[in-house]
Amino acid sequence: MKNIYKKVACLLALGLTLASCDDYLNDVPKGSKSPTTLADYEAFLRDEYTNHRVDITGASQLLNDQYVTLASLASNRLYNALYMWDENADRISMKVSDETMYYSSYAGISTFNLIIENALNTTKATEAEQRVVWAEAKVLRAMNYFNLVNFYADTYVASTAATKLSVPLITSANINAPSKQVTIQELYDFILNDVKEALPYLLKVSQTPLHPNLGAGYAFYSRVYLQMNNYTEALKYADLALAENNKLYDWIGYYNTNKTIIDLPNSYTTTTSPMGYTYVENYTYRHGTYNSLTTENSIPVERAQRFEAGDAKFISRWKLYTVGAETYYRRTLSGAFNFGGITTVEVYLIKAECLARAGQISEALAVLNTVRKTRILPASYQDISTTDKTVALNAIFRTKNNELTNTLIPFADARRLNAEGVYKVSFTKTANGNTYTLKSDSHLWTMPFPQGAVQNPGNGTITQNVAK
């Protein structure tokens, strides 16, 4: 890891007295408290700002799910390269400074490693209680590794996963712990094993929204298996997750309750986001960028056009806005947003895809329409009905992309579909009289590691996964 990351890890190990960096640092500094009880370690699972941040800014910009202002495009070359799909840009040279996605993910992994290493030896707890915290940290560590591998490495393809490199695997909180840039297959095996070991000990009801419960474990397993194109296992765990929580939020009711504010012409007064800690769709909550704790991204006009007519969730979140030479859909919700966790709507749509893949088209559409009935206003709603597998899958993909915009999932799904080669994802837009295209086979779909990580990899080595 980069030197600054080593300092952060050492502060976690010393200043917060979580673990020692070297033998000579084993003594607890005067005035500090060395964690010994399970409660001491469990408290770090509640550190939202350090351990539950999932910043996928680059992916949102590439998909044009996030509006980037003209000023930002002019001042930030990396933003411009991603947002305008510049195939010639050297993104590696543009990543001189730290990148939040990389360093926040590994900071969280360091904490989860610490808990996994120590939870089973803590005091003032039964073994059953210890196992719960240990299991929760296992799931969260696996989630961070899933995010990293689906950002900085190629997507999972069974025939090449054992030969292509992924990201550094670190399994200890010790500052000098070795890291190895393992293959994609090795990392997926590690992720699956973490969840497998955790599942027997996860609680059905979480202590807080930040603690993954049994439903979260099943839901995440389903997400991982879908990314591996294992539709049988993805469907199995989707059903298990929905047996734990199958609630869908009534966005039509939300719109009707707030329509006086939402529909007021030329007004951008915000309403309160229901997608926070107590959102009924949550399995586990994790936020996105720091700004996403209080607001969400505005979106381009072209992106807004891909939502269904009468989508109450869309209408409740964004409103067309013009300032100077720029027109986009401005955010109109404020509060908390579960952009990094897992929700029931994702699992419903995983189930729908798996059923469609198996040729069970009517069953897949029944699941899809169950979701849509809570989103599309009655005046616009019609059941999607078809016997065509491709039509059904494209409808599922459209709804899923709209539901999970500004999360990692549309980016991960697009990479998965492009690798499959049947339902390829590409985009075209016109700006300033020029046409821009993001091709399905573009190298832009894989993000480069930040320079600091490659040049200062800690006790290991890192090889870039892209040329530029």
Indicate if the pLDDT at residue 227 is higher than 90: yes
Q: Which tokens sit at 175?
A: 């500052």
Q: What is the average per-residue pLDDT within 403-421?
A: 97
Q: What is the average per-residue pLDDT within 114-143?
A: 97
Confidence class of residue 290 from pLDDT cuts 50, 70 and 90? low
Q: Would you state the pLDDT for residue 185? A: 98
- Model confidence over 170-198: pLDDT tens digits? 999 998 899 999 999 999 999 999 999 99
What is the 3-state secondary structure of the chain? Answer: CCHHHHHHHHHHHCCCCCCCCCHHHCCCCCCCCCCCEHHHHHHHHHCHHHHCECCCHHHHHHHCCCCCCHHHHHHCHHHHHHHCCCCCCCHHHHCCCCCHHHHHHHHHHHHHHHHHHHHHHCECCCHHHHHHHHHHHHHHHHHHHHHHHHHHCCCCCCCCCCCCEEEEECCCCCCCCCCEEEEHHHHHHHHHHHHHHHHHHCCCCCCCCCCCCHHHHHHHHHHHHHHCCCHHHHHHHHHHHHHHCCCCCCHHHHHHHHHHHHCCCCCCCCEECCCCCCCCCEEECCECCHHHHCCCCCECHHHHCCCCCCEHHHHHHEEEEEECCEEEEEECEECCCCCCCEEHHHHHHHHHHHHHHCCCHHHHHHHHHHHHCCCECCCCCCCCCCCCHHHHHHHHHHHHHHHCCCCCHHHHHHHHHHHHCCCCCCEEEEECCEEEEECCCCHHHCCCCCHHHHHCCCCCCCCCCCCC
Q: Would you state the pLDDT for residue 5? A: 42
Q: Which tokens sit at 380?
A: 């616009």
Confidence class of residue 291 from pLDDT cuts 50, 70 and 90? low
Q: Which residues pair with 183 in a beta bridge?
A: 165
- Model confidence over 235-265: pLDDT tens digits? 999 999 999 999 999 999 999 999 999 999 9
Indicate if the pLDDT at residue 292 is higher than 60: no
- Model confidence over 200-209: pLDDT tens digits? 999 999 999 9
Q: Are 120 and 134 in contact (CB under 8 A)?
A: yes
- Model confidence over 35-94: pLDDT tens digits? 899 999 999 999 988 899 999 999 999 999 999 999 999 999 999 999 999 999 999 999
CA 79 → CA 299, 373, 391, distances in Å? 15, 36, 34
- Model confidence over 314-357: pLDDT tens digits? 999 999 999 999 999 999 999 999 999 999 999 999 999 999 99
Percentage, residues of the chain above pLDDT 70: 91
Indicate if the pLDDT at residue 456 is higher than 90: no
For the chain, domains (ranges, CATH) are: 3-229+444-455 (1.25.40.390)
What is the average pLDDT value for the chain, to the nearest integer? 91
Indicate if the pLDDT at residue 17 is higher than 50: no
Q: Are 371 and 351 in contact (CB under 8 A)?
A: no
Distance CA 342, CA 352 (A): 16
Confidence class of residue 301 from pLDDT cuts 50, 70 and 90? very high
Q: Are strands 434-438 and 427-431 parallel, antiparallel or unpaired?
A: antiparallel
Q: Would you state the pLDDT for residue 203? A: 98
Q: What is the average per-residue pLDDT within 395-405?
A: 98
